[in-house]
Amino acid sequence: MEFLFALVLMVADHGSADHHHHHAAETTARSTVAADVRTVDAEARSALLRHEAMPELGMPSMVMEFGIAEDVDMALFEPGAALIVTAVMGDDGLTVIAAEPEAEE
């Protein structure tokens, strides 16, 4: 009887671990791409960006609004700026979690 109980616990633990791992993978999908700043709303911490395709997030290249995470320097986001941004998809849409000026060639 103890063996059967232990086996049931192992199967139950394995199942929940798979579920947790799957969920964690969904929440960490991110993409790093070149983006040009079109407009900025510093008060709302958002910017309209033209970005390259983001295959990791299932998005083609386009112009759209992004939220800007609290720890990202808003001074980088000026109309006309060329940036390399890392974005994640969250409950509120796309959020830039890292940004740096695009290297000049």
Does residue 12 surpass a pLDDT of 60? no
CB contact at 8 A, 34 and 84: yes
Residue 40: CB atoms within 10 Å: 19
57 three-class SS: helix
pLDDT at 104: 72
Average pLDDT of the segment spanning 23-49: 86
pTM of the model: 0.72
Closest CA to 45 of 93, 102, 7: 93
Alpha carbon distance 92, 102 (integer Å): 26
27 pLDDT band, cuts 50/70/90, is: low
**Burial class (CB within 10 angstroms; exposed 0-12, middle 13-18, buried 19+) of 96:** buried
